[in-house]
Structure 1
């Protein structure tokens, strides 16, 4: 479901009429999470894919495919696929952070597309000032093209989205209830999740979609959120369990106590959240290799230290996990 408003209209109009032959060499669509960047990029891809050679790929797949091609000796085939389309759409370039070799490969891909008179569109979760991880050359080139923002939706935007959801689902919900829901969320995916959860709760408890039911549902939702093995919750609980400040786990301190708490959080993120090493690295602002090393060191540590294993078991138990720690 899509809602056009002032916060996304500039990007929507840019991509709605986008034609490679008439466009800037590079276009950057940027903004916070959950505001529709990927949706717009996919719409643009689907509109143009039958007219011209176009490739859509997210940066995580770029990293994986590049690493596989380097390992298998098929880089020529990988580069031919990435560097010959009329238009390359590379989404989620924030996933390149910390991937030195992938960033270098992206830089050469960018240059090859430029030399071939092709075009590139990038999607980025963040602000232009946060592109420095790409290096001066690449970030300046991206910012030298067309940079189009998508802003955070306003409370009125979120309310209108919830109204549209209620209308399409044939729901009878007071506007005051929708206003309270709009205050609980920051973007449309969160609004959709809240609405669907509220409907499920009302059906389960045989309640109307009214203010009282919403109050009970939000209490239940907040309690469940604390028990959800999200990266943030895992770091917070690991900090409480080890007596280390959460800020130190996120930071660069390398004392044995902090390192052990950080390794505990990384191990549990990998075990419960099923995050990849690059995803954990992005969350903690660490390199893929350092995350993998921390995981392996902790895995060896729990074989030797009953105390360390006990902490792991306590953390897993808190998140109601059946993870085998033997």
Structure 2
């Protein structure tokens, strides 16, 4: 949609194309040009932190470190199962003049990233290196001989290089030693294993195993595509095999005790996140009851609060609590199953199609603790609710524990079956609210400790003051500070932290959702009934999608909740509208101006 053509956009001209000759963002596009590709490598970094609000485009950087930074942020933003399936095993193959070539293990991951995350990845990478970028996804095998170590380490965690000679890791270790001997001893080194950038040559192929590098050049020089991995089943349906780990990119390895995924989980279950434990869960007045109840049922399932229904907004720790219960239950020998309501629905559909409903029921009814995330998404799905009703009854009657999370209490799930609502309300309902200032500081300190980074208390307090919306955004802000300080080879001072966070200010309370809809309608000279009605003219549809986007971004409402506010639209329509506006924002300056104007109105004091 050409947003500038709508008269209420005050005549703002449409945005010019950000990159000359940009094209081909469709699914399945692969880089095939025969131009010379400069492999991703360590480049000279700025000698000191810039006091300006951004780093110039000419400043060099390590593409691998930037990609690791992106993975760290995506891991915080995405459900762990989704991140683990599609994003975790990606790596930088090459970088040249604003174009990242990203390697993937199979075509399924390529198609998923092309369709779902391409534009989000482009926006994030652009914000990290302060220039427009292009991203291409390449399915290519890895040379097993070069991938001797399998786990990737976050930038923030120190790691120890194994004793090895004649291989990529030992060469990197030698480079590190030489560079650190000549570096500024006053600079903070959040990750000693990450080399000081700028000392490698083109022939070193820094950041990429030599055999993999030769393969990429060979494929390009012959004008053909690399071979595509073919599996008997899609990667997202196959259990991870022990040997699969040897194929991960040898970038930066994982420190002990950091993120891991539960490789022992049976096929079809979501693996637990190793960072989400009771030990890393920061308790405050906002979540004290939920935490105490969770610990009690993990110790003695089915004896106290059954079911336990935890509700609260986005990014406040509900999933963390579920994973914590799962870890503790496994340690105590209880049979545990953790899934999302979406996966429960998908497995039920698959079981019906394959006539294996008996296996499906056995899987869910033979556990001691059933943990289901985002149960609100079964609302309105009659078959799913019917099956879950019988599963719930079976578990409850046999003294098994059920734990559910939702963005709303049961009484606010309008299309939920009354039988399920009464059962959900029959146990313990507890909410998780937004953390207070002291708790936010404690959360940040815990996060810094897990990241093996020393962060001054004044920096933690500044971040806690500026970000008060949810824990996910709070940790994301700290993650960005630590990683960017490492990339800039600079101590993380209060001045640098303020510069990196830019204009991020304390969260102001947005107006109520219905008031937000009125603001959007008035801006586009429409009525509330236009936004919530069935008319689909270009102007009304565009305004409606903007309303969807703002309701999601400013209020964190679920897709079904947004659909209900806008006249009963289904969640797939809402998702499409939100993603379309998000994609258009990367290209359309007029739309960016409109969103900024609407946000100012939304946050005006009453």
**TM-score higher than 0.5:** yes
Once the two structures are superposed, residues 255-289 of structure 1 have per-residue CA deviations (whole angstroms, 9 ceiling, x without a partner) of: 122664379779x9xxxxxxxxxx85565348999
Q: Distance in 2 between matches of 1:171 and 1:52?
A: 37
Structure 2 CA distance, aligned partners of 1:219 and 1:114?
A: 51
Larger displacement relative to structure 2 (45-54 or 194-203):
45-54
Indicate which of 278, 286, 290 corresponds to 1:11.
Answer: 290
Aligned length: 282
Q: Tell me by how many angstroms 1:294 deviates.
A: 9.1
Which one of 30, 37, 42 corresponds to residue 323 of structure 2?
42
The answer on 1:23 being equivalent to 2:287 is: no
| 73-82 vs 198-207, greater mean Cα deviation | 198-207
SS in 2 for 1:134: coil
- Deviation sequence 1:188-243 (CA, Å, 0-9, x none): 22221101112233344455433432332223779xxxxxxxxxxxxx9xx89x95
Which of 529, 532, 554 lines up with 1:252 in the alignment? 532
Structure 1 stretches of 4+ moved >6 Å: 244-249, 262-266, 286-289, 293-296
Equivalent residue for 2:417, pick from 130, 135, 139: 135
CA distance in 2, matches of 1:180, 1:80: 51
Q: Distance in 1 between matches of 2:411 and 2:445?
A: 35
1:271 is aligned to none
Higher-Rg member (1/2): 2
Q: Is the 8 A contact 1:132 1:139 kept in 2?
A: no
Length-normalised TM-score, structure 2: 0.40
* 1:62-77 alignment runs, 5 A limit: 62-77=344-359
> Cα distance, 1:183 vs. partner?
2.2
Counterpart-to-counterpart distance in 2, 1:64 and 1:288: 23
Cα RMSD, aligned residues only: 4.1
> 2:281 and 2:371 mapped to 1: Cα distance?
21
Counterpart check, 1:319 vs 2:586: yes
Contact 1:29 1:123 in 2 (8 A): yes
Q: How does 1:47-58 map to 2 (within 5 A)?
A: 47-49=328-330, 51-58=333-340
User: 1:150-197, CA deviations, whole angstroms, 9 ceiling, x for partnerless residues?
Assistant: 222111110122233345534242x34322211222232222110111
Q: Residue 145 of structure 1: CA displacement? A: 1.2
Where does the alignment leave 5 or more consecutive residues of structure 1 unmatched? Answer: 223-235, 269-278, 299-311, 322-326
* Alignment check: 8 A CA contact 1:158 1:187 kept: no
1: CA distance, partners of 2:417 / 2:335: 29
- Structure 2, unaligned stretches of length 5 or more? 1-279, 506-516, 550-557, 589-606
Partner of 1:324: none
Q: Does 1:183 align with 2:465?
A: yes
C-alpha distance in 2, partners of 1:187/1:124? 16
